[in-house]
Structures are given as structure tokens and as C-alpha cells.
């Protein structure tokens, strides 16, 4: 998925989740999104190392176009906003697991 698609996908997820009462979606989703935010933040900061089949690789954005850097920043902000929304809604979603 292109990083530029993240904000729109998270907005669509808000719409899709508005009527969900499945508590595990709200509980586990927040953890997954916090991890996504951490990875995006480390990528932006230039401190992200990834594990691959060939070993550890450093993610480097040196020389990246401004459009990519802007998309990455927007994806990070959208992820943080969505995480906050998930966490605030979680208390109102006491339903059974999905």
C-alpha cells in the first residue's frame, strides 16, 4: 500500500467501525496502530532498521522527493489521530469478541 493512501484508508476505517461493538477490534487495533506510528516515526527520523531474509537493512530516506516525505508525515499524523480515536472509543465498545 502506498504511504500516501494511509490517511484516506484510516478515514474509511472510521466509517466502517462506527457501528462495530466487537471489543477485540478496539483493544488490539490500538496496539497495532501504536506500532505503525512508531515505525513511521522511526522512518521519518532515519532510525528505522528492518529485518529481511538477507539480514538487517537500514531504511534511508536520503534523497527522497518532497512528495514522499510529505506523504509520510501525513500518514504518521493520520495514524496518531486514528489511534487516539480508537482509544477514546474503546471504552464505549463493551461487546463480545469478533
The reply to whether 16 falls in a domain is no
User: How many CB atoms within 10 Å of residue 72?
Assistant: 19
Classify residue 72: in a domain, yes or no: yes
Question: In a structure prediction context, what are the per-residue pLDDT tens digits for the chain, which is 98 residues long?
Answer: 789 999 999 999 999 888 888 777 788 888 999 999 999 999 999 999 999 999 999 998 999 999 999 999 999 999 999 999 998 888 777 766 65
Q: Considering the domain boundaries, does residue 42 fall inside one?
A: yes
Does residue 70 sit within a domain? yes
Whole-model pTM: value is 0.86
List the domain range (segments joined by +) for residue 79: 3-9+21-47+57-90
Place of cell 532498521: 49
**Do residues 11 and 74 make contact, with C-beta atoms less than 8 angstroms apart?**
no
Number of independent structural domains in the chain: 1
Within a domain: 15: no
Amino acid at each position: 500500500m502506498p504511504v500516501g493512501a494511509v490517511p484516506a484508508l484510516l478515514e474509511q476505517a472510521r466509517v466502517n467501525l462506527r457501528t462495530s461493538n466487537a471489543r477485540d477490534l478496539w483493544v488490539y487495533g490500538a496496539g497495532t496502530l501504536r506500532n505503525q506510528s512508531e515505525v513511521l516515526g522511526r522512518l521519518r527520523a532515519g532510525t528505522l532498521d528492518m529485518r529481511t531474509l538477507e539480514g538487517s537493512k537500514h531504511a534511508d530516506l536520503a534523497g527522497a522527493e518532497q512528495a514522499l516525505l510529505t506523504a509520510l508525515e501525513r500518514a504518521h499524523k493520520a495514524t496518531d489521530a486514528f489511534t487516539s480515536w480508537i482509544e477514546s472509543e474503546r471504552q464505549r465498545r463493551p461487546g463480545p469478541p469478533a
